[in-house]
Amino acid sequence: MKWPDCFVIMINMKKTIYADNAATTKLCDEAYEAMQPYFKEIYANPSQSYAAGSLAKRGLNDARRVIAESLSAFDKEIVFTSGGSEADNLALIGVMDACRDKGRHLITTDIEHKAVLETAKYLERNGVRVTYVHVGADGRVNPEDIERAICGDTVLISVMTANNETGTLQPIEEIGKIAKAHGVLFHTDAVQAYGKIELSPEKMNIDLLSASAHKFNGPRGAGFLYVKRGTPISSFIHGGSQEYGLRAGTENVPGIVGMAVAATISLEKMAERAEYEAMLTKRLHDGVLKRLEGVSVNGSMDYRLPGVINFSFAGVEGESLLISLDMKGICVSTGSACVMSTDTPSHVITAITGDEERARQSIRFSLGHENTVEEVDYIIDALGESVEYLRRLRE
């Protein structure tokens, strides 16, 4: 059988500098190797009781234990999903459905990932009242504003741990305390944060937490939702009783095993990588501001992930700059990978600055542990050339 041409990929391109790790990361070798036996050898359905199925089930259980231990959680508090978007959907839809007799009010912010915002809109169409709390000029939400939004029928608060476009960290622990004090459930989208910063659901009063493997050098198609014991939640994918009845469908054992291995490595090397990525980001920040005028940094400089920084360049369309950098072999982003196909400016930068033009001028750099100082220096030079060229075109 001859494969269609679209399945045969010939790579013939110059060296690429990948500075878009917030969109996805390269699968680590250890995860890749750990996954291989589960494709062609240990391939039985883990729900089956015969020996081959039990072997697959063991891999699933071992992975669940690894993820649970990373959060100091119980194994049964980990529900495997296809990724962060599904985990967010399960958290919001599942909780609001299970608690429909208690209340119909959800609180979130205006800079959440679309997996939360679009789910909130879906819930609004189905009778849920949603409050979108605004963030400050630094991209952080004031916990007091969250508390003021709480009503007698508030069921759930959902605030992301780290923003996917700016890297800004939210005051999760403070929000968790407020939620607990008012008897409101608290969900955080930790897709960008898991494996990069310390996370403790118990300490931070988190009831539900979403994560996705491909953000920490694991495979695409695997993620999880932490659900604290006793949290009311309903399934929204119906069928079998997999994942404690919360997520029907045969589990993606290879992906889940790969995720657990990637999580182990990310957590073991977290401090070392954070220090290195922060150094690279500072070098990029200082170099860009020294080279160019009319540059703004979007989001907090004090509370953010170590490898993410978002710039706006006055007089330059972000999309044009992205194309120019791509021609120089540099991969960056103008915003979330999930909305790159639309022509609308970043809702995150617009919410932070109140300026759609500045949002259209924004570019996100997300550096990882595989980037080098030499690459950052090349980015600074290439960025300077591109911005200066694009500004001249407008004169």
The angle that helices 373-394 and 270-291 make with each other, rounded to 10 degrees, is 30
Other beta carbons within 10 angstroms of residue 7's beta carbon come to 7
Q: What is the pLDDT of residue 32?
A: 99
- Rounded to whole angstroms, how far apart are CA atoms 207 and 343? 35
Strands 78-81 and 105-109: unpaired
The answer to whether the CB of 188 falls within 8 A of the CB of 198 is no
Q: What is the pLDDT of residue 317?
A: 97
Reported as a pLDDT band with limits 50, 70 and 90, residue 8 is low
Q: Would you say residue 82 lies in a domain?
A: yes
Note the pLDDT tens digit of each residue in 55-64: 999 999 999 9
Q: At residue 306, does pLDDT exceed 90? A: yes
Q: Which amino acid is at 19?
A: A
- Rounded to whole angstroms, how far apart are CA atoms 112 and 130? 13
In whole angstroms, what separates CA 21 from the centre of its chain? Answer: 10
**Residues recorded for the chain:** 395
Which residue, 268, 303, 323, sits at the end of a domain? Answer: 268
Looking at the fold, whether 255 and 285 belong to one and the same domain comes out as: no
Q: Would you say residue 23 lies in a domain?
A: no
Looking at the fold, whether 86 and 212 belong to one and the same domain comes out as: yes
Q: Would you say residue 187 lies in a domain?
A: yes
Looking at the fold, whether 233 and 289 belong to one and the same domain comes out as: no
Looking at the fold, whether 306 and 236 belong to one and the same domain comes out as: no
The CATH number that applies at residue 239 is: 3.40.640.10
The CATH number that applies at residue 289 is: 3.90.1150.10
Note the pLDDT tens digit of each residue in 78-99: 999 999 999 999 999 999 999 9
The answer to whether the CB of 99 falls within 8 A of the CB of 128 is no
Looking at the fold, whether 202 and 278 belong to one and the same domain comes out as: no
Element (H, E) at 321: helix 318-327
Looking at the fold, whether 240 and 198 belong to one and the same domain comes out as: yes
Q: Would you say residue 18 lies in a domain?
A: no
Give the chain's domain count.
Answer: 2
In the set 6, 28, 151, 338, the catalytic residue is 338
Note the pLDDT tens digit of each residue in 336-375: 554 555 578 999 999 999 999 999 999 999 999 999 999 9
The answer to whether the CB of 149 falls within 8 A of the CB of 143 is no
DSSP-derived letter for residue 319 is: H
Question: What is the overall mean pLDDT for the chain?
Answer: 95
Q: Which domain holds residue 306?
A: 270-394
Looking at the fold, whether 159 and 211 belong to one and the same domain comes out as: yes
Q: At residue 289, does pLDDT exceed 60? A: yes
> Which residue in 124, 61, 112, 63 sits closest to 88, CA to CA?
112
Q: Is 99 a catalytic residue?
A: no
Looking at the fold, whether 298 and 341 belong to one and the same domain comes out as: yes
Looking at the fold, whether 331 and 202 belong to one and the same domain comes out as: no
Element (H, E) at 71: none
Q: Would you say residue 20 lies in a domain?
A: no
Q: Would you say residue 13 lies in a domain?
A: no
**By CB neighbour count within 10 A (0-12 exposed, 13-18 middle, 19+ buried), where does 181 fall?**
exposed
The answer to whether the CB of 131 falls within 8 A of the CB of 145 is no
DSSP E strands, 37-133? 78-81, 105-109, 129-133
Q: Would you say residue 4 lies in a domain?
A: no
The answer to whether the CB of 225 falls within 8 A of the CB of 197 is no
The percentage of the chain sitting over the pLDDT mark of 70, rounded to a whole number, equals 94
Looking at the fold, whether 284 and 259 belong to one and the same domain comes out as: no
Looking at the fold, whether 296 and 256 belong to one and the same domain comes out as: no
Residue predicted with more confidence, 240 or 10:
240
- Rounded to whole angstroms, how far apart are CA atoms 17 and 365? 11
Looking at the fold, whether 241 and 324 belong to one and the same domain comes out as: no
Q: At residue 14, does pLDDT exceed 70? A: no
Please compute, for residue 197, the number of CA atoms within 13 A of its CA located in the half-sphere on the CB side.
Answer: 20
Which residue, 249, 268, 287, sits at the end of a domain? Answer: 268
**Cβ neighbours of residue 165 closer than 8 Å, sequence gap 6 or more:** 22, 111, 298, 299, 310, 335, 336, 346, 348, 349, 362, 364
Q: Would you say residue 19 lies in a domain?
A: no
Q: What is the pLDDT of residue 6?
A: 56
Which residue, 268, 285, 309, sits at the end of a domain? Answer: 268
Query: pTM score, two decimals?
Result: 0.95
